[in-house]
Structure 1
Amino acid sequence: MNIMKAAVLKSFGTPLVIENAPEPVLGTGEVIVDVVTTRVLSYMNEVFSGERNYALDLPIIPGPGGIGRVRAIGPDATKLKIGDWVFCDPTVRSRDDAIAPDIALQGLTAAGAGGMLLQKHFRHGSFAEQMRVPTENVKRLGAITSEEAAQWCALGTLLVPYGGLLAANLQAGETVLVSGATGNFGSAAVSVALAMGAACVVTPGRNETILADLVRRFGSRVKPVKLTGNEDDDREAMKRAAPGPIDCVFDIMPPSVSPTVVRAAVMTVRAYGRVVLMGGVGMAGGAGLELPYPWIMRNCITIHGVWMYPPDAASRLIALVRSGLLRLDEYKTTAFDLDHVNEAVAHAAANGGPFRLTVIRP
């Protein structure tokens, strides 16, 4: 049996353990990838402590997705070649129900009983020298260098808001409001919306330094709004910041945020507008989001809950990067080797702001 180095979570609340693990064995419908670099989510410490109550069958090699090179391919792969640079998409879907597939996030969590069944097989993630990935989750990047691989890890962050904006059917020339714009995923949503052709992105938040930085990075299409905490006043301020009606509201606020802050943003949307909910309101207990039934009905508001993104999103996002419309060099990366994985987790938690990436190079 061949072995590799991996970081293993053996129990919640304990550090990751670096040890030798069996190399993954290739099966039909699968690809083995040599992991070159993988991102560390800013809240991984909360996952590993058990605070987030993520569904993980321990012990497990964690790590959602990554950048690497194809090591071995199965008989159903017709485009991939050994040595190809690829992005490993962690969103694993069951193959026996195309309409409503079960989903597991490889190396991170799973949804429901079906997702846990998926996790039993595609359980181990990218905090290792190799990983086994479903063939359809391996996305070709084209030629890159090993040094560039760290910035390409930003795909994992950018894909989440991209999925929401695709669900919202965001069109070029529209105005979108990003609720949670000063966070890691929210700032990614701003850059993705602009890359998709949004004429204007309204960016509410409390941190004026980050709001000013968004304008510095992306220019006058970004319209910052300093929130006061008064729901009615904030709603009107967000509306005034937009040059016209707000076509789409995208929310990606974390669990710690009050639902009233989210409601203030959601209810800025125009009649016949679209709202996408991708955040964490209510996930840590407390009140959920209340919206007036008459307002939704009479204004023909579309509300779309979105978890992750469609299967073709990664390839489409890679094309946006390759075209120059979406820039990965906005991201500042800090790299750790696998032996220092626990330091990497701590660093990610302390440095989880906009356009920051903590990565591991196994």
Structure 2
Amino acid sequence: MKAAVLKAFGEPLSVRQVPDPALGTGEVVVDVVAAGVLPYMAEVLSGERQYLLTLPATPGAGAVGRVRSVGPDTTRLTVGDWVLCDPTVRSRDGAPTPDITLQGLSARGDGGLRLQQHFGRGSFAEQLLVPTENVFPLGSIDPAEAPRWAALNVCLVPYGGLLAADLKAGETVLVNGATGYFGSAGVAVALAMGAGRVVAAGRNRDRLAQLAHRFGSRLRTVSLTGDEDEDRDRMRRAHDPIDVVLDLLPPAAGTAPVRAAAMTVRESGRVVLMGGVGMLGGDDLALPYPWFMRNSITVRGQWMYPPHANTRLIELARSGLLDLDQFEVTEFDLDNAGQAVAHATARAPFSLTVIRP
């Protein structure tokens, strides 16, 4: 099969013939139809993100495709089924904290790197070997719409944060970093889950205006200034009370806007941290102990999402509550994987770049 291969950080991707995946028990081989390209994939491939990725590697996190073959312990999936492939691969040996590799992207610790030795090839390829538990049926879909269904891999990240916050219908969510790739998807997912109001905070005024136009009266926008006290006041004035804060700020944002947003939440509110702040160095997040204690605030970190999030998000999309037509898709063939990575960089919200092998 053909795959895009990264031989060394900083080198361009090369598309070449590689061995087909060898199917084993507890595994599924999927013919990749659409693989989404992260907007920061260029930073991963250059080494700037310092992700744990064993080289040579085939990048690509998540995909939509059709089942090519199944292992002997598979009882429901059949050849030809349309499926969503979840790149969050977890070890199966019963550890309280399983080792994790993000297929085609990164790993958590030495155990995650061991998983990468078997499940390391990502979705920028004609075929993808996936653990059976990471393959989720989509039902019947229009083949021409397969790239749009790849938006589920984007939406799963903020969905994991909102599940961790135990978001309830009618509550108000503040999405910090709402003008970014995952933040804008988080706005859409929160509204699909029944949030009564979403406060979208970010520094890009044009993108905030686009969000306001897209989502109407259930959205309030806040343009951040960089002054922590001023930004906190602006967010509080946008809507009171705020029940949940979901932080999705990127590594370059710094800790001040995170703290400003976290301290807008109401008494007994919930704050979920799942952005990239601090991952490339800089100050640690300092939170005022007395304020959080006296206001009974729950602060939780969340990396990715639980396995059941896949099925539930697919149901939100199939019901129409989460409208995947919001995503504008640009397609590249596998031979132009490098161009796809360049195109994806710093795309506007709801702009999805996909590779179609």
Deviation at 1:99, TM superposition (A): 3.0
1:88-114 deviations in Å (ceiling 9; x for gaps):
000001111263211110111000111
Note if 1:312 corresponds to 2:308. yes
Residue 354 of structure 1 aligns with which residue?
A: 349
Amino acid at match of 2:146: A
Residue 339 of structure 2 aligns with which residue?
A: 343
Residue 63 of structure 1 aligns with which residue?
A: 60
Question: Aligned partners of 2:291 and 2:258: how far apart in 1?
Answer: 16
Q: 49, 53, 75: which one pairs with 1:52?
A: 49
| Matches for 1:116-195 after TM superposition, within 5 Å | 116-195=113-192
Residue 249 of structure 2 aligns with which residue?
A: 253
Residue 262 of structure 2 aligns with which residue?
A: 266
Note if 1:333 corresponds to 2:329. yes
Question: Which blocks of at least 5 consecutive residues in structure 2 are unaligned?
Answer: none
SS in 1 for 2:252: coil
Note if 1:114 corresponds to 2:74. no
Question: Aligned partners of 1:29 and 1:176: how far apart in 2?
Answer: 39
Residue 81 of structure 1 aligns with which residue?
A: 78
1:253-284 deviations in Å (ceiling 9; x for gaps):
00000211111111101111100000111111
| Matches for 1:228-239 after TM superposition, within 5 Å | 228-239=225-236
Residue 69 of structure 2 aligns with which residue?
A: 72
Residue 42 of structure 1 aligns with which residue?
A: 39
Question: Aligned partners of 1:99 and 1:79: how far apart in 2?
Answer: 28
Identical aligned residues as a percent: 65
Amino acid at match of 1:356: S
Residue 286 of structure 1 aligns with which residue?
A: 282
1:148-185 deviations in Å (ceiling 9; x for gaps):
01101101110000000000000001011000001110
Deviation at 1:207, TM superposition (A): 1.7
SS in 2 for 1:261: helix
> What RMSD, in angstroms, separates the aligned Cα atoms of the two structures?
0.9
Question: Aligned partners of 1:338 and 1:39: how far apart in 2?
Answer: 12
1:58-106 deviations in Å (ceiling 9; x for gaps):
1111111101000000122111110000010000011112632111101
Deviation at 1:127, TM superposition (A): 0.7
SS in 2 for 1:237: helix
Residue 212 of structure 2 aligns with which residue?
A: 215
Question: Aligned partners of 1:77 and 1:100: how far apart in 2?
Answer: 26
Question: Aligned partners of 1:360 and 1:120: how far apart in 2?
Answer: 24
Question: Aligned partners of 1:264 and 1:82: how far apart in 2?
Answer: 50
Residue 240 of structure 1 aligns with which residue?
A: 237
Question: Aligned partners of 1:323 and 1:202: how far apart in 2?
Answer: 24
Question: Aligned partners of 2:206 and 2:9: how far apart in 1?
Answer: 36
Deviation at 1:314, TM superposition (A): 0.7
Deviation at 1:325, TM superposition (A): 0.3
Q: 7, 22, 25: which one pairs with 2:22?
A: 25
1:89-143 deviations in Å (ceiling 9; x for gaps):
0000111126321111011100011111111110101111101000000000011
Decide which moves more: 206-215 or 170-179.
Answer: 206-215
Question: Aligned partners of 2:270 and 2:217: how far apart in 1?
Answer: 23
Scaled by the length of structure 2, the TM-score of the pair is 0.98
Scaled by the length of structure 1, the TM-score of the pair is 0.97
Question: Aligned partners of 1:317 and 1:50: how far apart in 2?
Answer: 32
Question: Aligned partners of 1:286 and 1:228: how far apart in 2?
Answer: 20
Amino acid at match of 2:177: G
Q: 274, 297, 301: which one pairs with 2:297?
A: 301
Question: Aligned partners of 2:343 and 2:247: how far apart in 1?
Answer: 26
Aligned residues: 357
SS in 2 for 1:256: helix
SS in 2 for 1:22: coil
Question: Aligned partners of 2:281 and 2:336: how far apart in 1?
Answer: 33
Decide which moves more: 158-167 or 146-155.
Answer: 146-155
SS in 1 for 2:69: strand
Question: Aligned partners of 2:202 and 2:17: how far apart in 1?
Answer: 45
Deviation at 1:290, TM superposition (A): 0.7
| Matches for 1:4-19 after TM superposition, within 5 Å | 4-19=1-16
